[in-house]
Chain A
């Protein structure tokens, strides 16, 4: 492995250094260093930032700001982020969770990116030097984005409105067959007023299940009423095939697991 690491105290200086060819940002390193160990020579130089602000978690007025260097373990143990703990705990084993960052998860290709699935359902905003970007736009353009992500922001969901499910074959820490996150607002009588559903492993990156979201509006979360939403969940998906599951298998089991997540 031939890698050189450059350390900066500010994001601004690091962003300038990142413009050089063959240079990549180092978050927790669980994907970047792994790639280098595997013999990937496309990266010759890594850049990191030591600004402690990047590791801060801010919860105020119902809004959350997660620094890009915040780890999955930090989220899982934060008393005010209990609603997000299942999504953070879905990422790898204990050592991986101590290293894996929010910023890195946004760039992780399927079958990874479980926490990014949660952030997509939450309608998060991704902040870098270009300003604030809705997460959908960010994910669509992430392959060409070279700017360092500094923060993600979103409204803290109530425990009742946010649901997350990861399906894996090896328990407790195997990679995803699929993951699903749902942000649901229900009226007093239990009717769905708004729904955001995000899927992992149903494309090369987290995607929205927009047809299922629409079909859920006005429904109660009973097996009969959610059936059209489950039937619509496969619209627009292109699941990955990997050693864990084929695209066919992922397509077949998606409605089953979405049904389990939605049914009370």
Chain B
């Protein structure tokens, strides 16, 4: 299989790789680049565990071919903490017991981050809608929804 060059920014760092044509972004991130924060749950677009942010939009890395991301700005949960300090969303997920096995957590956090970037003070319905493409088999969702609302409040207090 032909190898193709791919270049993009991942959590602020330039990445340049040769990958097999047709490789998914999920595969490239996890197995080639070593960012294992996006999880491969279903590889079918259904679970949302592989969600990443590409050029400001939530996308499924299992259904995105890596070579279509040339020049893109990609963000994953691995890039959220700064200087060893957790992002407010990560903190809130821990504090609100929104994480059990943790498999869905990176995808949930990416979906929540896109929401809070655009809608800093979301309603509960906004949160439910934003997380509607992400499946969790452990928490029952309510702690996750609460965690996102808590993180939103923390953010708006910081901004005030």
Residues of chain A touching chain B, judged by Cβ–Cβ distance below 8 Å, are 1-5, 7, 26, 28-30, 33-34, 36-38, 46, 48, 73, 92-96, 98-99, 172-173
Contacts and interface: CB of A to CB of B under 8 A. Distances in A.
A37 B43 contact: yes
B100 interface: no
B74 to A, nearest CB: 14
A7 B132 CA distance: 32
A175 to B, nearest CB: 10
A5 B68 contact: yes
Given A2-B1, A37-B43, A95 B65 contact: no
Contacts of A96: 45, 60, 133
B150 interface: no
B63 A99 contact: yes
B58 A95 contact: yes
5 contacts: A29-B63, A29-B68, A33-B64, A92-B133, A173-B133
Contacts of A173: 132-133
B63 A26 contact: no
Interface string B27-71: 000000000000000011100100100000111101111011000
A94 B1 contact: no
Given A5-B65, A33-B64, A173-B133, A95 B24 contact: no
Interface residues of B, number: 29
A93 B65 contact: no
B114 A3 contact: no
Contacts of B57: 73, 98
A3 B21 contact: yes
B64 A94 contact: no
Contacts of A98: 57-59
Contacts of A5: 4, 21-22, 65, 67-68
Given A3-B65, A96-B45, 9 more contacts: A29-B65, A33-B64, A36-B22, A37-B62, A38-B44, A94-B111, A95-B59, A99-B59, A173-B133
A4 B59 contact: no
Contacts of A73: 57
A56 B4 CA distance: 28
A29 B4 CA distance: 19
Contacts of B1: 2, 4
Interface of B: 1-2, 4, 21-22, 24, 43-45, 48, 51, 57-60, 62-65, 67-68, 111, 114, 128-130, 132-134
Given A4-B21, A46-B22, A172-B132, A93 B64 contact: no
A94 B129 contact: yes
A90 B65 CA distance: 25
B44 A37 contact: yes
B21 to A, nearest CB: 4
Contacts of B128: 172
Contact of B45 (A2, A26, A34, A36): A34
B45 A48 contact: no
A94 B24 contact: no
B45 A172 contact: no
Nearest to B40: A37
A30 B129 contact: no
A30 B133 contact: no
B132 A94 contact: yes
Given A46-B22, A98-B59, A93 B134 contact: yes
A73 B4 CA distance: 30
Nearest to A71: B57
B57 to A, nearest CB: 5
Contact of B48 (A30, A37, A93, A99): A93
Most B-side CB within 10 Å, residue of A2, A38, A48, A99: A99
Contacts of A30: 45, 60, 63
Contact of A94 (B4, B43, B44, B58): B58
